[in-house]
């Protein structure tokens, strides 16, 4: 069993066909018995990504978008561990933006993962694996000492 922290670019792959979808589905499958951690902001980001996939020409249909969003929200409620974005996360995100080339929400994602990783390790548990499809965010996570996986490296 592994604790995976998925950013939005990785999470959306579970609900819409992209490079890396099969791998993300495999690590998030309940039978794999992994813990899936996501930031609260991922809820809005994935909803927006699914809506954008519906709006583009030849994108997903409205029923596909609605089914994907419904499944995602159900899994957020019943299966995934949603991590709060509190003052501690925001303060760290601000600090990260001053040291690393990060956009605002990417800094929040990284701060959330870094603090969750610290909490896991302080409890004597193995470190989490930070999963993204964003090369810059992965590089920043590695700079911060996190174990990483790039979801785009899998079919």
- pLDDT tens per residue across span 26-70: 999 999 999 999 999 999 999 999 999 999 999 999 999 999 999
Give the pLDDT confidence score for residue 17 in this predicted structure. 94
Superfamily of domain 3-153 in the CATH hierarchy: 5'-nuclease (3.40.50.1010)
* 81-85-88-91 Cα dihedral, nearest 10 degrees: 140
Interior angle at CA 138, CA 58 and CA 77, nearest 5 = 65
Interior angle at CA 82, CA 85 and CA 74, nearest 5 = 135
Q: What is the pLDDT of residues 65-98, one digit of tens each?
A: 999 999 999 999 999 999 999 999 999 999 999 9
In contact, 47 and 39? CB cutoff 8 Å: no
- Taking CA atoms, 101 is separated from 34, 39, 48, 127, 139, in Å, by 30, 20, 23, 24, 10
Band of residue 155 on the pLDDT scale cut at 50, 70, 90: confident
Closest CA to 6 of 37, 30, 35: 37
Q: What is the pLDDT of residues 98-150, one digit of tens each?
A: 999 999 999 999 999 999 999 999 999 999 999 999 999 999 999 999 999 99
Dihedral sign, Cα of residue 42, residue 13, residue 77, residue 37: negative
In contact, 117 and 127? CB cutoff 8 Å: yes
pTM for the predicted model, two decimal places? 0.96
Give the pLDDT confidence score for residue 26 in this predicted structure. 97
What are the sequence ranges of the domains in the chain?
3-153
Residue with tokens 């499958």, as numbered in its chain: 29
Dihedral sign, Cα of residue 74, residue 80, residue 84, residue 89: negative
């Amino acid at each position: 069993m592994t604790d995976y922290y998925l950013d939005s670019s990785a999470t959306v792959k579970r609900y819409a066909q992209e490079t890396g979808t099969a791998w993300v589905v495999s690590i998030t499958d309940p039978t794999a018995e992994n813990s899936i951690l996501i930031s609260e902001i991922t809820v809005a980001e994935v909803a927006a990504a699914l809506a954008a996939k519906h709006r583009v020409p030849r994108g997903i249909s409205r029923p596909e978008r609605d089914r994907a969003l419904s499944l995602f929200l159900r899994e957020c409620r019943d299966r995934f561990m949603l991590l709060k974005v509190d003052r501690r996360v925001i303060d760290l995100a601000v600090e990260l933006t001053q040291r690393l080339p990060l956009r605002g929400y990417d800094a929040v994602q990284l701060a959330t993962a870094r603090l969750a990783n610290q909490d896991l390790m302080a409890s004597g548990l193995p470190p989490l694996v930070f999963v993204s499809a964003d090369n810059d965010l992965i590089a920043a996570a590695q700079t911060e000492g996190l174990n990483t996986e790039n979801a785009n490296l899998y079919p």
